[in-house]
Amino acid sequence: FLCLVAQFCCGFFVILILGNFWFLAVLYLLWLYLDWETPCTGGRRSQWVRNWTVWKYFREYFPIHLIKTSDLSPNHNYLLGFHPHGVLVAGAFGNFCTSSSFKNLFPGLTPYLHIMPIWFSCPFFREYIMSAGMVSASKKSVSYVLDNKGGGHASVIVIGGAEESLNAHPGSLTLNILKRKGFIKMALKHGAHLVPVFSFGENELFKQVANPKGSRLRNVQEKLQKIMGFALPLFHARGVFQYSFGLIPYRQPIHTVVGSPIPVKQNLNPTTEEIEQLHALYLQKLRTLFEEHKRNYGIPEHKSLIFE
C-alpha cells in the first residue's frame, strides 16, 4: 500500500516537472531541501489527517484492536518493540498513526512510529506519512523522540524490519530479533523503558508465495532487500468482489497487545554485556507476553515464538 501511494506521489511530481507547472516542482524541491531534517526531529503530525474517517473504516475492516495489559506513566519515555512485521504492518499503523484507542488507553503519551528513512525521500508522500505521526527510524530520530525531558513520548519500532516481512506467512511465529540489539542500546542511552508489543493476526492478512530459506526466490528477495533497503514479498489475498485472488488483505482480526514496561536506567555508555543482559530480558518478557495471550487469539497450545 505504501509503495502504491509513494509511486503515485512520485508520478505526480514527474508530471509537474514535465508539464506547465515545473515552477511548482522547483518550489517544492526548495521546500524539500529546507525541510529535509524534519523526519528526524519529531516530524509534523496533523490531528486532522489522523482523524480522517477512512481510518475508522480501515480499523473496522479487519478489525484492529489495541489491548492494554499495564499502565504506562506519562512521566517516562518508552520504546515499544512491535512484533511481527507482517506484510502490511496494519496493527502498527492502525493503532499508532490514526486516532485509535491509544490516547484513551495511555493518556499523556504521544506515539511515534519509526519507519525506514528512504520513505521520506519521496516527494509529497513524505508530507502525508509525517502528518500521520511517522518519523525516520534513524538513530538521530529515535534519540530526538526519547530525549524528551518531561517524558510522555513513545517510540514505536518494528524490530524485525523489512527482512522479517519475508517470513510473513499465515501461522508463522518466526521473529528476526536475535541480532537486533540497536534498540536495546538506544533504550539504555536514554533511559527509556522497554515495552514488548505483539500483534496477533498480523501474519494472517496475506498469503505469500513459498520462499523457504535457501530457495532461489528467497535468495533473490534478500539480495534486493540489501540493495534497496526494503523487502519485496510476493503476496496475494482477496479481491474487491471475490475472495479467491487479489491484493486486498483478508478480513482477519488483529489484536495488538501492549505488554508491561521493563524499567531501564539511563546508561550513556552501556557495555556489550549490559546490552546482552537487557536484550535477553526483553526476549523473556516478549515470550511471556505471547504465551499469556496466545490462547485468546487462536494460537494452538503447542505453538511458540521462534527467535532467529
Q: Are residues 168 and 29 in the same domain?
A: no
Distance CA 280, CA 299 (A): 24
Give tens-digit pLDDT for 253-276: 999 999 999 999 999 999 999 999
Domain count, the chain: 2
Q: Is the pLDDT of residue 11 over 90?
A: no
C-alpha 133/C-alpha 17 separation (Å) is 29
User: Once rounded to an integer, what is the mean pLDDT over residues 56-73?
Assistant: 97
Q: Which residues, in sequence order, are CB contacts of 29 under 8 Å at separation 6+?
A: none
20 and 89 both lie in a single domain = no
> Residue 225's pLDDT is what?
83
Regarding whether 235 and 142 lie in a shared domain, the answer is yes
pLDDT band at 10 (very low <50, low <70, confident <90, very high): low
Q: Where are the beta strands (DSSP E) in 202-307?
A: 207-208, 235-236, 254-258, 306-307
Query: What pLDDT does residue 247 have?
Result: 85
Quick one: which H or E segment has residue 156?
strand 153-158
Mean pLDDT of 238-243: 84
Q: Which domain holds residue 16?
A: 1-36
Residues 6+ positions from 93 with CB-CB distance below 8 Å? 113, 132
4: pLDDT strictly greater than 70: no
Residues 159 and 196 in one domain: yes
Residues 132 and 69 in one domain: yes
Residue 68, pLDDT score: 98
pLDDT band, residue 125 (cuts 50/70/90): confident
Q: Minimal CA–CA distance to 3: which of 238, 209, 230, 199?
A: 230
pLDDT tens digits, one per residue of 133-175: 999 999 999 999 999 999 999 999 999 988 899 999 999 999 9
**pLDDT band, very low/low/confident/very high, at 25 (cuts 50, 70, 90):** confident
Q: Any residues with CB less than 8 A from the CB of 56 and at least 6 apart, and which?
A: 98
241 vs 299, higher pLDDT: 299
Share of the chain above pLDDT 70, in %: 94
Residues 152 and 23 in one domain: no
Whether 11 and 98 share a structural domain = no
- Domain match, 32 and 50 both: no
- Verify that 53 and 151 share a domain, yes or no: yes
- Answer whether residue 3 shows pLDDT above 60: no
Nearest CA to 257 out of 230, 232, 293 is that of 293
Cell of 8: 503515485
For residue 75, the domain's CATH number is 3.40.1130
pLDDT in tens, 282-292: 999 999 999 99
CA 170-79-74 angle, 5° bins: 125
Place of cell 540497536: 182
In a shared domain, residues 241 and 120: yes
Q: For 24-37, what is the mean pLDDT?
A: 88
pLDDT of 217 > 80? The answer is yes
Q: State the cell numbers at 47.
A: 490531528
Give the range with max mean pLDDT: 10-14, 90-94, 125-129.
Answer: 90-94
Shared-domain flag, residues 190 and 226: yes
**CA 223/CA 184 separation, integer angstroms:** 27
Q: Is 1 in the same domain as 142?
A: no
